[in-house]
Amino acid sequence: MKFHVLTLFPEMIRQGFGTSVTGRAMKNGLLALNAVDIREYSKDKHKHVDDYPYGGGAGMVMQPEPIGLAYADITKDMQKKPRVIYVTPQGSVFRQSMAEEFAREDELIFLCGHYEGVDERILEEIVTDYVSIGDYVLTGGELPALVMMDAISRLVPGVLNNEDSAEFESFHDNLLEHPHYTRPVEYHGKRVPDVLLSGHHENIDRWRREQSLKRTLERRPDLLETAVLTSKDLEYLQSLGWNHSPVSENVK
């Protein structure tokens, strides 16, 4: 997977992506990053890339020409037009299913906006997907681009070690994970739950399942709407006071 990022802050993208798992995958040749400074495509003697909005109003708008030239340069040797993701608060909210879809591409282009926005004409010309990471206001699109690239990268075959990739392939029934414990057996007066030390695997599995259910009910009750639940699970949830009539297809 090759990521191209059109940005005014290429160093932020390189720093963020070059560390940890994605950095290692770049060294292994599984991932590649081309962080492109839009300012380098400005024809202005002061390297301006923005101007006042037609019609008036606050702030500045990124001009179409530098972005168009940077895009032309990136795509000049490509066989087909790549998907171009404009990261914007006005986009669809990024989901795991979108990460899975984007991970099937060979190359992706991210466009990061700054100022009040980007001239609509270049967006109409090159953008294929408008994507946000959620309903909060950030200072720019660089962190959202990094978030999406991280989520996409771990789905590229070979990027994760075998242990972690086997884990995400296993089916979790759309529930949150149970709590985890390691040594010591007592920390600040709190003991590891006895069941985990018992060696009784059936009891351990049931305890973990119940912890997952309890945690999901407390923290993400919305997930229970689409969770895959057994009749035993339903009984346990009802003992916690959950009242919801499930859709029969989701009952295991």
What binding mask, one character per residue, do residues 34-73 give for ligand 9D3 by CB under 6 A, x or -?
----------------------------------------
Q: Which is nearer to ligand 9D3, 94 or 236 (CB)?
A: 94
Q: Which of 70, 82, 85 has the alpha carbon at shortest distance from 38?
A: 70
Q: Which is nearer to ligand 9D3, 37 or 142 (CB)?
A: 142
Q: Which is nearer to ligand 9D3, 18 or 117 (CB)?
A: 117
| Complete edge-to-edge strand list for the sheet that includes strand 61-62 | 50-51, 61-62, 117-118
Q: Which is nearer to ligand 9D3, 8 or 229 (CB)?
A: 8
Residue 136 lies near ligand 9D3 (rule: CB under 6 A) = yes
Burial string for 171-181 (b: 16+ CB within 10 Å, else e) reads eebebbebeee
Helices 20-27 + 142-153 axis angle, to 10: 60
Site residue total, ligand 9D3 (CB under 6 A) = 15
Please report how close the Cβ of residue 7 comes to ligand 9D3 at its closest, in angstroms: 11
Please report how close the Cβ of residue 209 comes to ligand 9D3 at its closest, in angstroms: 35
What binding mask, one character per residue, do residues 74-113 give for ligand 9D3 by CB under 6 A, x or -?
-------------xxx-----------------------x
Please report how close the Cβ of residue 87 comes to ligand 9D3 at its closest, in angstroms: 4
CB 93 within 8 A of CB 134: yes
Distance CA 82, CA 101 (A): 13
Per-residue DSSP letters for 172-215?
-TT-PPPP---S-SEETTEEPPGGGGS--HHHHHHHHHHHHHHH
CA 85 vs CA 31, 82, 126: distances in Å: 18, 10, 9
Interface residues with ligand 9D3 (CB under 6 A)?
Answer: 87-89, 113, 116, 132-134, 136-141, 144
